[in-house]
Chains A and B, each alone.
Chain A
Amino acid sequence: MTNLTMVKAINAGLRKAMERDPKVLLFGEDIGRLGGVFRVTDGLQKDFGEHRVLDAPLAESGIVGTAVGLAMRGYRPVLEIQFDGFVYPGFDQIVSQVAKFHRRMDGAVAMPITIRIPYGGGIGAVEHHSESPEAYFAHTAGLRVLTPSDPQSAYLTIQQAITCNDPVIYFEPKRRYWDKGEVDESQSALDLGAVADPWRARIVKAGSDVTVACYGPMVRTCLEAAAVATNISLEVVDLQALSPIDYETLVASVQRTSRLVVVHEAALSGGVGAEIAARIGEKCFYELEAPVTRVAGFDVPYPASRIEEHFLPDLDRVLDAAERVMRY
């Protein structure tokens, strides 16, 4: 076991994936020489060469579109979009091409593309660098969406995303990039029997009163809330996969607690929480003691960084919601 930041954990996972499969290519802006603006790809171009770790021209649509072609040629491209707010020039290639190709070709061609996107706020940044656009992609058929919450899960899930033959949008919670955690690098992500299935939600803290479903950057926030909650026992579920969502685990938890709070940074209306609320309303209609309640960002463009703390769900808001559902 080593104590690694999430950045180093993803770096190690990328390295493992590249060692394992010579068809894995990394492609993105400033990922080669510079090692990425967050240093996630640090050292990889030096070790694997410029033909496997490529610095792209400044064009997101170009990066995604050429990746489609590379995939058709048998490569396994792992793309980096530098920041969440810059994925939009590439959005058309993602939803019109990457997502639909397999279906369009009746399964003859796979799109084993992983698109890594640092996302979320809480880093005091200027505009376009704190977005949470995961709902657009979770809503798009043909895509899978995954998001780790800590170094260990990042180390495993990045490898699993890469080996998956479907396109995976891999959202990395940038405010947690520097969180440290124990990482067992001996775990081979290919031995799925030995290792947790990334498409399963994880119960990261057991509890009995309220299920708190969250993902990415909010998992740590919810764990902190659970730790300070004196009068309610929260069960914190890290969803990990936003498409498909592991309802089996979530439903089992809600059946135990009868109450669900969903937490995400992304805006409330039309977010992933809305989908979960609808689905759990259907599946657990007679088990619920209270309506499914969401703690989310407001329906406004992400604000100037000096007031972002009022936009982002925090410990207080999570506990406020938990107490509200207990009062029903």
Chain B
Amino acid sequence: MVDERVSAVQLLTPEGQRVAHPQYDINLTDAELRGLYRDMVLVRRIDTEATALQRQGELGLWAPCLGQEAAQVGSARAMAPNDFAFPTFREHGVTWCRGVAALDMLAMFRGVSNGGWDPNAHKCGPYSIVIGAQVLHGVGYAMGIAFDGAEDVAVTYFGDGATAQGDVNEAFVFAASFSAPVVFFCQNNQWAISQPRDRQSNVQIFERAAGFGFPGVQVDGNDVLAVMAVTKVALERARTGNGPTLIEAYTYRMGAHTTSDDPTRYRLAGELETWRLRDPIERLKVHLARQGIADRSYFDQIEHEGEELAEQIREGVRAMVPPTPASMFDDVYSEQHPRMDEQRAEMLEYLASFEDAVG
């Protein structure tokens, strides 16, 4: 696979070396840096635990974000509290940073909910399974921000595959036409199930923004510092009325598309090896250790925290019970609806008619 990082912004090399960039820089406190490390480790722990739980049959499926922690944590931590995130179904790092409980992230994959949390409580939309749909939603939300005269920003997440969808291209058009305060954050993890990035676009993804009339920037998606720096600039642009930016975070989907997928059918093991050397967490760990910002005891503490979190998740998932059958009639409408009442009553009557009926 060709390395296409023609101009990807980088501030931290895979070896953990801090480097400069002509246009982008970042200054974080030691605590903030340790915080980013902690975020990424815990997100990865959630991800691996969920993968294991799926293998054990506790989850119907799981969309792993393995390898994409820096792209997600870096961008999400750059957001202000009142900014609003629009994730796909893989942004466990984003939902983590927006304060969504791990178990709420998993509810959908457990099959007990089609949502999982209150978007307004977390300023984060639900996981969106229809590819690209949420990108239009994000632009609309941003248009609303503009109409309100507020300074918030919407950040919409999507993958390389989604850039082919009509909805995403329309979102670009609308954002440009209305100068919407939105950041388009594309994680180019190189694969849309079995299709490599070049099936979706003849040019690099960040280059497409020019055609729509707004700036595009490519960033090393496994470099949490660069991601954060680039996102901060894009957020500021939007916040000050300068419209959308497309960020292409160049990263890699280390896991499968979902746990039902078998990547060995379409990609070479060698790729994985190459990207293992670019691991987002490893490079930050090296940097923290070398700079004396964190020591072994801190790393152990975070690992331990990860194990506890995993245990909570295990127990929590196993204890997750399905909603009641009649709940499927709740909230279909926001107002009373005769068909819902009628069918709910029918269902309850029917369920009660069985000899082994409970309750």
Assess the B166–A301 pair: CB atoms within 8 A.
no
Q: Bound complex: CA of A310 vs CA of B165, how far in Å?
A: 34
Q: Please pick, from B108, B261, B328, B343, the residue contacting A307 in the complex, using a CB distance under 8 A.
A: B328
Number of interface residues of B (CB under 8 A): 44
Q: What sequence of 0s and 1s flags, for each residue 2-17 of chain B, a beta carbon within 8 Å of any chain A beta carbon?
A: 0000000000000000
Assess the A126–B325 pair: CB atoms within 8 A.
no
19 pairs, A vs B, C-beta closer than 8 Å = A29-B192, A29-B193, A37-B193, A58-B165, A58-B195, A59-B166, A124-B111, A125-B60, A125-B61, A269-B339, A298-B329, A299-B339, A300-B328, A300-B329, A300-B343, A303-B114, A303-B327, A304-B112, A306-B323
Interface residues in A32-80 (C-beta closer than 8 Å to B)? 32-35, 37, 55-59, 61-62
Assess the B161–A58 pair: CB atoms within 8 A.
yes
- Determine the chain B residues whose CB is within 8 A of the CB of A305 once the complex forms: 60, 111
Assess the B110–A306 pair: CB atoms within 8 A.
yes
Q: Please pick, from B112, B164, B323, the residue contacting A58 in the complex, using a CB distance under 8 A.
A: B164
Q: Please pick, from A33, A59, A85, A307, the residue contacting B165 in the complex, using a CB distance under 8 A.
A: A59
CB A31 to nearest CB in B, in angstroms, measures 9
Q: What sequence of 0s and 1s flags, for each residue 345-359 of chain B, a beta carbon within 8 Å of any chain A beta carbon?
A: 001001100100000
Given A126-B109, A299-B332, 16 more pairs with CB closer than 8 A = A30-B194, A32-B194, A37-B260, A55-B199, A58-B131, A58-B161, A58-B192, A86-B131, A124-B111, A126-B129, A128-B129, A298-B328, A303-B114, A306-B322, A307-B327, A310-B351
- Determine the chain B residues whose CB is within 8 A of the CB of A34 once the complex forms: 193-194, 265-266
Give residues in B with beta carbon < 8 Å to A: 60-61, 89, 108-114, 129-131, 161-162, 164-167, 192-195, 199-200, 260-261, 265-266, 322-325, 327-329, 332, 339-340, 343, 347, 350-351, 354
Q: Please pick, from A61, A300, A311, the residue contacting B332 in the complex, using a CB distance under 8 A.
A: A300
Q: Please pick, from B108, B199, B322, B354, the residue contacting A127 in the complex, using a CB distance under 8 A.
A: B108
Decide yes or no whether A89 CB sits under 8 A from chain B. yes
Q: Please pick, from B109, B112, B195, the residue contacting A29 in the complex, using a CB distance under 8 A.
A: B195
Q: Bound complex: CA of A55 vs CA of B198, how far in Å?
A: 12
Decide yes or no whether A320 CB sits under 8 A from chain B. yes
Assess the B111–A310 pair: CB atoms within 8 A.
no
Assess the B194–A307 pair: CB atoms within 8 A.
no
Q: Give 4 nearest A-B pairs by CB, closest first.
A: A305-B111, A306-B322, A310-B325, A34-B194
Number of interface residues of A (CB under 8 A): 40
- Determine the chain A residues whose CB is within 8 A of the CB of B114 once the complex forms: 126-127, 301, 303-304
CB A79 to nearest CB in B, in angstroms, measures 15
CB A56 to nearest CB in B, in angstroms, measures 8
Query: Which residue from chain A places its CB closest to the CB of B260 in the assembled complex?
Result: A37
- Determine the chain B residues whose CB is within 8 A of the CB of A124 once the complex forms: 60, 111
Q: Bound complex: CA of A320 vs CA of B351, how far in Å?
A: 12
Q: Please pick, from A37, A57, A304, A317, the residue contacting B323 in the complex, using a CB distance under 8 A.
A: A304
Q: Bound complex: CA of A32 vs CA of B324, how far in Å?
A: 41
- Determine the chain A residues whose CB is within 8 A of the CB of B322 once the complex forms: 304, 306-307
- Determine the chain A residues whose CB is within 8 A of the CB of B261 once the complex forms: 37
Give residues in A with beta carbon < 8 Å to B: 29-30, 32-35, 37, 55-59, 61-62, 85-86, 88-89, 124-129, 268-269, 298-301, 303-307, 310-311, 316-317, 320
Assess the B130–A85 pair: CB atoms within 8 A.
yes
- Determine the chain A residues whose CB is within 8 A of the CB of B192 once the complex forms: 29, 58
- Using A59-B166, A61-B166 as known contacts, say yes or no to A304 and B111 having CB atoms under 8 A apart: yes
- Determine the chain B residues whose CB is within 8 A of the CB of A306 once the complex forms: 110-112, 322-323
- Determine the chain A residues whose CB is within 8 A of the CB of B193 once the complex forms: 29-30, 34, 37
Q: Please pick, from A55, A128, A317, the residue contacting B130 in the complex, using a CB distance under 8 A.
A: A128
- Determine the chain A residues whose CB is within 8 A of the CB of B266 once the complex forms: 33-34
- Determine the chain B residues whose CB is within 8 A of the CB of A268 once the complex forms: 343
CB B285 to nearest CB in A, in angstroms, measures 33
CB B64 to nearest CB in A, in angstroms, measures 14
- Determine the chain B residues whose CB is within 8 A of the CB of A88 once the complex forms: 130
CB A100 to nearest CB in B, in angstroms, measures 20
Q: Please pick, from A129, A299, A303, A320, the residue contacting B343 in the complex, using a CB distance under 8 A.
A: A299
Assess the B111–A126 pair: CB atoms within 8 A.
yes
Among A30, A33, A59, A316, chain B packs the most CB atoms within 10 A around the CB of A59
Q: Bound complex: CA of A125 vs CA of B161, how far in Å?
A: 21
Assess the A307–B325 pair: CB atoms within 8 A.
yes
- Determine the chain A residues whose CB is within 8 A of the CB of B108 once the complex forms: 126-127, 304
Assess the A89–B129 pair: CB atoms within 8 A.
no
- Determine the chain B residues whose CB is within 8 A of the CB of A307 once the complex forms: 322-325, 327-328
